[in-house]
C-alpha cells in the first residue's frame, strides 16, 4: 500500500468547514483596519536569516532555536519568517516608502513559522495579521493602535480579553535596570528553573515571562523596568495611559510583560485570554523606535502589534460562523431536465446567486438528503413528469410544503429567494 502522508508536526490544514471562520476573522480585521487608514502590504515568506538576527536579536530564543533556516544551494542563508515586523520594515526601506508619506500605516496577513513545542494555541506554522505604523512617536498613536485592536475583538464578539500594558524602557535607563535585575537574579539563582538560569545570562528580562509558579513567586520581589524609567520615557508611558483613558479603553498594568522579541522599547502590550491555558496572548505588540535605522533605513520610530489568528479562531463563537447555506437546491432528474436547467443555474450564478445542484445524476431521495445536509431553504424538483407539464415542484424544506411553479416563473422566484 502507498505511504499515507501527514502534515508536518505543528502545521495544520484548514479544512472547508473551518474556512468561514477564518475568512470572517480575517475580513473583519481588514475592513476595520482600512477604516483606520491602514493599507495592505505583502512580503515574501522567505527572507535572509540575517534580517531576523539583526531585528529580533542574535541571542533571542526565536532566532537561536526556533527558525526554519537553510542554505540556498550553498549560497545565502535563508529563513522562513518567524514574524512579520522585520519583513515589513525591510520592504518599507527597500521601496523607500518614507519618500511617499511621512507616516506609513501598514498591515500584512499570512503564515509565520517558529519551531516551538506544539500545543493548543501554539503551532509551528501559525497565522498573524501584523499592523505597523512607521513615523510616529506620539503616545496617542500607541493608544489608538490598542483601541483599534480592542475594537476588532469586540467587533467579532470576543469580549473577555484583558489588555495588559507595560513600559520596557530603553537606552541608558534599560542598561541600569539590567544591572539591578541581574544582581537580583544572581542572589536568587538557586531557586530558579533551568530555563531561567540560562535566560538570566542571555536575556535577563525574559525570565519575568517564565510560566513556572515557583519562579513567579521569586519575581514578585524583582525590580521592574517600569519603576526605573527615565523621566522622558516615564512621561511617554503616562501619556499613553492618559490617551487610553480618553478613548475609554480598559487596561491593567503588568510590570512583568517583557515581550519575546528584542526590538521593543517603551510601550509593550498584550491582549490576554484566560480561556487558552498558557498560550493566552491573542494579540501583542509594542514600540520599536530604532529598528528602522538598525535595518539601514532613516531614523524613524515605529509601533505595531500582531493578532494571532489561530488563537482568534479558537475563541470565535461557532454559531455565527458556519458556512452559509444555498437558498435554492435544484434536484434535476434525467438528461432532459439537466439540459434545460443547467444553463439557467449557470446564468443565475453569474448574477450572484448561491445555488447548488447534484452533478451525479443520483436518485431523488439522495438528492433530497444532500439538500437537507446543505441546509437549503428551497428545493426545485424537475423530473420527466414536471417537464411534460411545463412546471417544476417547489418544496420548502422546513415546512415540507410543496407546490407547482410554472417554468416561466422559476427565474423570478429564484431571484426573489436569494
Ligand atoms: P509575538 O508576540 O511574537 O509578536 O506574536 C504575536 C501574536 O502571535 C501572539 O500574541 C500570538 O497570538 C501569536 N503567536 C505567536 N507565536 C505563535 C505560535 N507559535 N502559535 C500560534 N500563535 C502564535 C510578534 O510577532 C510581533 N511581530 C508583533 C508586532 C508587530 N510588534 C510590533 N509589530
Whether the pLDDT of residue 321 is over 80: the answer is no
39-84 pLDDT, tens per residue?
Answer: 999 999 999 999 999 999 988 889 999 999 999 988 899 999 999 9
pLDDT in tens, 127-150: 999 999 999 999 999 999 999 999
Ligand 1 centroid distance, CA of 282 (Å): 8
Q: Which of 253, 252, 199, 256 is nearest to 224 (CA)?
A: 256
CB of residue 90 inside a 6 A radius of ligand 1: no
Q: What angle do CA 116, 120, 126 make, to 5 degrees?
A: 55
Q: Is the CB of 93 under 6 A from ligand 1?
A: no
- 330 ligand 1 Cβ < 6 A: no
pLDDT at residue 318, rounded to an integer = 63
pLDDT over 60 at 322, yes or no = no
Which atom of ligand 1 is found nearest the CA of 82?
Answer: 25
C-alpha 307 – ligand 1 centre gap (Å): 7
Across the range 337-361, mean pLDDT stands at 89
Q: What is the mean pLDDT of the chain?
A: 93
- Cell numbers 520610530: residue: 301
What percentage of the chain exceeds 70 in pLDDT? 98
Residue 319 has pLDDT above 70, yes or no: no
Q: Say yes or no: CB of residue 345 within 6 Å of ligand 1.
A: no
Cβ of 169 closer than 6 Å to ligand 1, yes or no, is: no
| CB of 281 sitting under 6 A from ligand 1 | yes
How much distance in Å is there from the Cα of 62 to the middle of ligand 1?
Answer: 11
pLDDT band, very low/low/confident/very high, at 320 (cuts 50, 70, 90): low
Does residue 99 register a pLDDT over 90?
Answer: yes
What confidence tens digit (pLDDT) does each residue in 139-197 have?
Answer: 999 999 999 999 999 888 898 999 999 999 999 999 999 999 999 999 998 889 998 99
Average pLDDT over residues 363-392: 93
Answer yes or no: pTM beyond 0.85: yes
Q: Within 13 Å, how many C-alpha atoms sit on residue 228's CB side?
A: 17
Measured between alpha carbons, how far is residue 303 from residues 88, 142, 404 in Å?
12, 7, 63
Q: Cβ distance 266 to 234 under 8 Å?
A: no
Q: Which residues pair with 69 in a beta bridge?
A: 79
CA–CA separation, 329 and 381 (whole Å)? 9
What is 34-64 written as a DSSP string?
HHTT-EE----SEEEHHHHHHHT-TT-HIII
Extract the C-alpha cell encoding 10: 505543528
Average pLDDT over residues 303-322: 85
10 Å CB burial of residue 360 (0-12, 13-18, 19+) is: exposed
> Taking a C-beta distance cutoff of 8 angstroms, is the pair 272, 209 a contact?
no
- Note the pLDDT tens digit of each residue in 36-50: 999 999 999 999 999
Q: What is the whole-number distance in angstroms between the Cα of residue 368 and the centre of ligand 1? A: 46
Q: Which has more pLDDT, 348 or 110?
A: 110
Amino acid at each position: 500500500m502507498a505511504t499515507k502522508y501527514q502534515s508536518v508536526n505543528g502545521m495544520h490544514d484548514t479544512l472547508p468547514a473551518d474556512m468561514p471562520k477564518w475568512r470572517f476573522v480575517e475580513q473583519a480585521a481588514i475592513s476595520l483596519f482600512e477604516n483606520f487608514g491602514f493599507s495592505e502590504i505583502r512580503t515574501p515568506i522567505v527572507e535572509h536569516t540575517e534580517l531576523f538576527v539583526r531585528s529580533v536579536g542574535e541571542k533571542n530564543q526565536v532566532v537561536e532555536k526556533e527558525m526554519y533556516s537553510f542554505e540556498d544551494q550553498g549560497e545565502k542563508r535563508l529563513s522562513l519568517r518567524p514574524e512579520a515586523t522585520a519583513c515589513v520594515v525591510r520592504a518599507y526601506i527597500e521601496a523607500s516608502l518614507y519618500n511617499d508619506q511621512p507616516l506609513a500605516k501598514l498591515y500584512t496577513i499570512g503564515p509565520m513559522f517558529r519551531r516551538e513545542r506544539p500545543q493548543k494555541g501554539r503551532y509551528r506554522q501559525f497565522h498573524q495579521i501584523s499592523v505597523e505604523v512607521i513615523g510616529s512617536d506620539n503616545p496617542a498613536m500607541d493608544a489608538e493602535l490598542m483601541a483599534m485592536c480592542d475594537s476588532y475583538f469586540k467587533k467579532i464578539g470576543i469580549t473577555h480579553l484583558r489588555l495588559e500594558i507595560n513600559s520596557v524602557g530603553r537606552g541608558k535607563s534599560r542598561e541600569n535596570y539590567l544591572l539591578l535585575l541581574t544582581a537580583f537574579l544572581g542572589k536568587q539563582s538557586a531557586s530558579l528553573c533551568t530555563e531561567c538560569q540560562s535566560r538570566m545570562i542571555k536575556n535577563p528580562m525574559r525570565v519575568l515571562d517564565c510560566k513556572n509558579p515557583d519562579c513567579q513567586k521569586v519575581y514578585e520581589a524583582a525590580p521592574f523596568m517600569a519603576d526605573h524609567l527615565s523621566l522622558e520615557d516615564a512621561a511617554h508611558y503616562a501619556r499613553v495611559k492618559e490617551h487610553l483613558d480618553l478613548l475609554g479603553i480598559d487596561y491593567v498594568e503588568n510590570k512583568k510583560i517583557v515581550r519575546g522579541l528584542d526590538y521593543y522599547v517603551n510601550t509593550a502590550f498584550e491582549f490576554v485570554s484566560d480561556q487558552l491555558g498558557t498560550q493566552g496572548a491573542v494579540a501583542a505588540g509594542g514600540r520599536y523606535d530604532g529598528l528602522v535605522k538598525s535595518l539601514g533605513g532613516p531614523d524613524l520610530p515605529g509601533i505595531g502589534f500582531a493578532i494571532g489568528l489561530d488563537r482568534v479562531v479558537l475563541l470565535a463563537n461557532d454559531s455565527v460562523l458556519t458556512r452559509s447555506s444555498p437558498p435554492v437546491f435544484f434536484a434535476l432528474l434525467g438528461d432532459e431536465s439537466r439540459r434545460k436547467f443547467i444553463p439557467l443555474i449557470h446564468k443565475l450564478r453569474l448574477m450572484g446567486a448561491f445555488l447548488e445542484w447534484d452533478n451525479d445524476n443520483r436518485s431523488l431521495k439522495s438528492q433530497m438528503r444532500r439538500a437537507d445536509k446543505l441546509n437549503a431553504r428551497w428545493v426545485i424538483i424537475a423530473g420527466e413528469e414536471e417537464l411534460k407539464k411545463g412546471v417544476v415542484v417547489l418544496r420548502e424544506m422546513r415546512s415540507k410544503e410543496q407546490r407547482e411553479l410554472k417554468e416561466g416563473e422559476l427565474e423570478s422566484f429564484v431571484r426573489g429567494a436569494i
